[in-house]
Amino acid sequence: MADTEDKAAIVELLNLYGFALDAHAWDLFDLVFSQDVTAEFGPAGNAWVGLENFKRSFAEFHETLDSHQHTMMSQLVHVDGDRANAFSYGNWLLIREAAEDGPTWTGTGWYDDELVRTEAGWRIRRRVCRLMSWTGNPFVPEPNAEHRPDMKLNVLREHAEAGRVAYLNAVKATR
């Protein structure tokens, strides 16, 4: 597969993630992630390991919402043989009609993905997602304050300077 075909396939896969979430089509995660995926959302070290665990947790969380929309954009892809790195931005609109103080919460952030080529195509093996900003009602993602996800903001520049952006590290290594 030519480099441009690989990149197009990976961008399609990144966009499929948002669609799978919003459609609650959890079986589509099998087309996006490897079976041994590590998906780190929130603070470093908080990760789901394994596709079934990740799918189950995301299904449980998204079932508690009345609606949501995930938009993926500005994808960058670096292919190196049977491995690749991708970086993209995302927006998340979460809606919970019964939430006290308003039904919406909007987050923006970034995804830093490490992918592998499998017999079935490209799959994300490691995903790091970091929140950059949010607005709205913090009780929408989690009504119980004790279980509220970490909403610490992550400045991309700080992660890049600390060498914690795999996509940037991969691009720099080939220059």
> Residue ranges per domain, the chain?
3-173
**pLDDT (average), residues 61-76:** 96
**86 near 51, Cβ under 8 Å?**
no
**Residues 12, 147: Cα–Cα separation, whole Å:** 33
pLDDT tens digits, 48-67: 999 999 999 999 999 999 99
Token pair listed for 6: 């690989």
Tens of pLDDT, residues 80-137: 999 999 999 999 999 999 998 899 999 999 999 999 999 999 999 999 999 999 999 9
* Partners of 90 in the β-ladder: 72, 109
Q: What is the mean pLDDT of the chain?
A: 93
> What tokens were used for 81?
């043989």
Exposed/middle/buried for 93, CB within 10 Å: 0-12, 13-18, 19+? middle
pLDDT at 100: 87
Residue 112: the pLDDT is 98
Instruction: Please name the CATH architecture into which domain 3-173 falls.
Output: Roll (3.10)
Averaged pLDDT, 16-41: 97
What percent of the chain shows pLDDT beyond 90? 82
User: Is pLDDT of 31 > 90?
Assistant: yes
pLDDT at 145: 63
Q: What pLDDT score does 137 carry?
A: 93
Q: Specify the pTM.
A: 0.93
